[in-house]
Structure 1
Amino acid sequence: MKSSCVRFRKVFEMLDRYAWLDEDYERLEKQALTRQIRSVDAVLGDRGAWIRVEGKTLLNLSSNNYLGLAHDARLKAAAMEAIELWGTGATASRLVTGSCALYTELEQRLAAWKEREAALVFASGYQANAGVISALVGRGDAVFSDRLNHASIVDGIVQSRAEHYRYRHNDPEHLAYLLEKHKGARRKLIVTDTVFSMDGDTALLPDLVGLRARYGALLMVDEAHAGGVLGERGEGLCHALGLHREIDVIMGTFSKAFGAYGGYICADHSVVRYLATKSRPLIYSTALPPAVIASVLTALTIVMKDAERRKSLQAKAKWLRERLASYGFSVGEGDTPIIPLIIGDNEKTLRYSRKLEEMGIAAVAIRPPTVPAGTSRIRLTVMATHTWAELEWAADQLQSIRADLEGGIG
């Protein structure tokens, strides 16, 4: 009898152990804030414009594949050739034996492309942001971060243990106030996205460069959604504004316009040398597979040379933004391929996303904590490989759905 009671108690304890998780999940469910991972069954064709999700064929308006390179035959051929030569995995971290010769070539080319002394490739953009910030600042230092910066920037600041001061979005006056108030910090770091991933607007870089000089701060920018999209050769917003030499650390990714995976930073030799020694995500992560590095090298050539693809992307994004604004949608400010349809209410945003899927469009609902409370949205993204006919059809579907939903949007 005693052993039966013990077994019963153990079973009860195991059942009760996760009760708090179930309760919290139910709370999130009531707020329309739960998330599910859905399987993409296939990408249809070589443009990346159409996908099949759980048996449904959908026009993909939720991808960061801005230039359509993720399915480019040239990138796939480069990856397969690298697999034959180097195998499928790097087998170790970069500081052990994982940094194959392709890394050296890529970092040299990235530095030349960005017109900086050196570059350093990380296993992901998230790791690059977290690893750079947590290495450059620590206790006694202060980081000044735009309120709408990506989560990887926020997490890097938290890991650094530096004091974190968030300035109002694109408000240089508020940033100046905070810098003045905390000018006694040992080191000061200003960090911002250049293109904000959920709003599609751009940072006020000239103002930030001025404040960098005035307060002796370091300035780091995240070009994840600007790389390949802005600049004469796709270098990003810093180059488009002619400010790339005034930035201490320029970070970017290969998972958006490059159609591959990974992250990188470009900076002076002193910065790169220091990060290679101190950045924990770099030190303790297995290096990217050689096939990924090879595909990135090919993508970099295309990004630099194919200005027409970039112009097509910009023209299509501008057209869709203006068309949706003319229909009465609240699309925010900006001239990038990211077009937010601001709805506000979480449940209504989910209904809108489901309705779009019923009509053949993949457009995901974005809700807190990814965006501030009360600003839930459908985040649309345009690719260079979308056809004009596809975008016109999508705009018409969006208009009809808006009319169907009680109360409209905007």
Structure 2
Amino acid sequence: MSRLNFIHDELEKLEEEGLFVNIRTIEGPQDAWITADGKKVLNLCSNNYLGFANSPRLKSAAKGAIDAYGVGPSAVRTISGTTVLHCELERKLALFKDVESTISFQSGFCANLAVIPAIAGKNDVIFSDELNHASIIDGCRLSGAKIIRYGHCNPDDLRGKISQESNAGKRLIITDGVFSMEGDIAPLPEIVNIADEFNAITIVDDAHGEGVLGEGGRGIVDYFKLQGKVDIEVGTLSKAFGVVGGYVAGSKKLTDYLSQKGRPFLFSSAATSPDVAACIAAVDILMESKVRVEKLWSNTALFQKQMENTGFDIGRTQTPITPIMVGDAKLAKEFSRKLYEEGIFIQAIGYPTVPVGKSRLRAMLSAVHSENDLLWAVGCFEKIGKTLGILN
């Protein structure tokens, strides 16, 4: 009997429960319309909030970097993997975020795996929102610290739990800025007040807030005007910035410390020069103009209003992330399949990404969608929603 038979059993279970993910293959660049598995479809799945993933300016920057620096770094940052491009990106990100310093990583996931274990250890306590991203969860586990989950966006529950841990070495409060499955925004002012009251370190992962919230997309700290009051900001370059990568923003001492203690920085090859150059171009565009961010929010308002008027439950979203609540995993998967047949690419999301019974589709709005795209999509949602009994 094979030692790996359990894999077969687990895959069958996922199929039976409607939780097996059908991974479609994209042919060509990310844009409003893409080709997925050979079919032209409206793309409502992508984190490409500002349309940077296929920006001519970003592509030109990446091509120029290949000519100047080659395709790969061939080393970690601490040996020979740091180029002038990495330094330039970090300098411009610090200006964009209005912080003293930033340090970049290969992904937002790596940024959390670098900073959380470097800050917290076995004698410390981390207070983590119960709906935080998997990268935060894994970073907390790697730290060896005691982990206490508090109720989602619930400052009262956080205050009650942190007040009971007076003997902790260090206390850290960590939260997503924007929650990727709900689309709601963390109550950061209240969290900062609690951190001040209990002398706790604050970490906010603004993966879905960068390029979306705040002045010209500067993120949740700017949105709430809390500059200088959040100890550590984690960001990604893989969503609104349209490329790949992550970073940590804060004091110069913090980034110097992470360059010595952040394991993904020390033990994984640096981000490639074309990626870094494209990220620099994205930051430059955001610092020059608010047009893309404003278009993103205009599209968001249009789509969400129309979906609510049609009768869909879009949860408590406050951002372009738009959950379309279905409940049953198999029904959500069938909804996704029928929309694909109609010409809309949007994936069903179920357990363990969201709780059992909370399966949904998640529409991701972008500045590159036209109003006609979105109005046509709402009509398709309505027709299929009625067919499946999701709408009365």
- Could you say which residue in structure 1 is the equivalent of 2:244? 261
1:288 to 271, 274, 284: 271
What is the deviation of 1:29? 2.0
What do the CA deviations read for 1:38-92 (whole angstroms, capped 9, x no partner)? 211223xxx7111111111100001000000110100000000000000000111
1:230 to 213, 223, 227: 213
RMSD (Å), alpha carbons: 1.2
Task: Please give the alpha-carbon distance, in whole angstroms, between the structure 1 residues aligned to 2:244 and 2:341.
Answer: 31
What is the deviation of 1:34? 1.7
C-alpha contact 1:258 1:303 (8 A) present in aligned 2: no
What is the deviation of 1:346? 0.5
1:79-118 residue pairs with structure 2 within 5 A?
79-118=62-101
What do the CA deviations read for 1:322-363 (whole angstroms, capped 9, x no partner)? 110111111012331110001111000000000100100000
C-alpha contact 2:347 2:362 (8 A) present in aligned 1: yes
- Could you say which residue in structure 1 is the equivalent of 2:368? 385
2:153 to 164, 167, 170: 170
- Could you say which residue in structure 2 is the equivalent of 1:351? 334
C-alpha contact 1:318 1:335 (8 A) present in aligned 2: no
What is the deviation of 1:140? 1.2
Helix, strand or coil for the counterpart of 2:175?
strand
Matched, 1:244 2:227: yes
1:22-41 residue pairs with structure 2 within 5 A?
22-41=8-27
- Could you say which residue in structure 2 is the equivalent of 1:144? 127
- Could you say which residue in structure 1 is the equivalent of 2:304? 321
What is the deviation of 1:409? 4.7
Helix, strand or coil for the counterpart of 1:121?
strand
C-alpha contact 1:117 1:267 (8 A) present in aligned 2: yes
C-alpha contact 1:317 1:335 (8 A) present in aligned 2: no
Task: Please give the alpha-carbon distance, in whole angstroms, between the structure 2 residues aligned to 1:41 and 1:103.
Answer: 30
Task: Please give the alpha-carbon distance, in whole angstroms, between the structure 2 residues aligned to 1:161 and 1:175.
Answer: 20
- Could you say which residue in structure 1 is the equivalent of 2:43? 60
2:293 to 310, 313, 316: 310
C-alpha contact 2:90 2:104 (8 A) present in aligned 1: yes
Structure number, greater radius of gyration? 1
What is the deviation of 1:200? 0.8
Task: Please give the alpha-carbon distance, in whole angstroms, between the structure 1 residues aligned to 2:253 and 2:204.
Answer: 18
- Could you say which residue in structure 2 is the equivalent of 1:334? 317
Task: Please give the alpha-carbon distance, in whole angstroms, between the structure 2 residues aligned to 1:82 and 1:275.
Answer: 26
May I ask how many residue pairs the two structures share in their alignment? 392
C-alpha contact 1:234 1:304 (8 A) present in aligned 2: no
Helix, strand or coil for the counterpart of 1:244?
coil
Q: Which runs of 5+ in 2 are unaligned?
A: none
Task: Please give the alpha-carbon distance, in whole angstroms, between the structure 1 residues aligned to 2:82 and 2:38.
Answer: 40
Task: Please give the alpha-carbon distance, in whole angstroms, between the structure 2 residues aligned to 1:242 and 1:299.
Answer: 23
What is the deviation of 1:36? 3.5
2:255 to 272, 275, 279: 272
Match of 1:192, as an amino acid? T
Match of 1:357, as an amino acid? Y
What is the deviation of 1:248? 0.6
What do the CA deviations read for 1:345-400 (whole angstroms, capped 9, x no partner)? 10000000001001000000011111122111100011101001001100111111
Matched, 1:368 2:368: no
TM-score (norm 2): 0.98
| Identity percentage of aligned residues | 40
Task: Please give the alpha-carbon distance, in whole angstroms, between the structure 2 residues aligned to 1:194 and 1:397.
Answer: 31
TM-score (norm 1): 0.94
Task: Please give the alpha-carbon distance, in whole angstroms, between the structure 2 residues aligned to 1:262 and 1:377.
Answer: 28
Task: Please give the alpha-carbon distance, in whole angstroms, between the structure 1 residues aligned to 2:155 and 2:391.
Answer: 31
Q: Which runs of 5+ in 1 are unaligned?
A: 1-12
What is the deviation of 1:183? 2.3
